[in-house]
Structure 1
Amino acid sequence: MRLPQHSTRWNWSSSPGCHGEITPGEDVVDDILTCSQGDLAQLVQCALMAVTDWRDLRTAADDIRSDRNR
């Protein structure tokens, strides 16, 4: 089986605290894991969101965290 190639380049430089780094910062990883909620397919989508627009990921993670604290 051949997997499709995605045109997005993995670059964490737009994420907070990740400028020039090869890996995302701890906050970004925490947001990815929070939003994926244990689902592998969701984890991949969240990782892509972290690369393309980390602010959307941060907002989604904050919403999930605030719902847990209610």
Structure 2
Amino acid sequence: MQGLEVLVLWGFAALGVYHLIFRLKLALARQKAAANSVRDATNQLRFVMAASFRQKKLMFQREYRVFNLARACCL
């Protein structure tokens, strides 16, 4: 009977260690997510500063002509 009690205690100890490791991993994941959160203004600035930007046309040439005609007509 005493061997079974020792086995149960080792099982509970192993379960406790597993639980502690799981909680530690969860806490680290939350900390990493908070460090990369876009809700923080500092992180937003860091992301924008690290990004690369390039110019892109907003309209095709035909669309731009129509836009200029509409703008000239309505002003």
What is the TM-score when the length of structure 1 is the normalising length?
0.28
Of the two, which has the highest radius of gyration?
2
Q: Which has the higher contact order (CA 8 A, sep 6+)?
A: 1
Higher helix share: 2
What is the TM-score when the length of structure 2 is the normalising length?
0.27
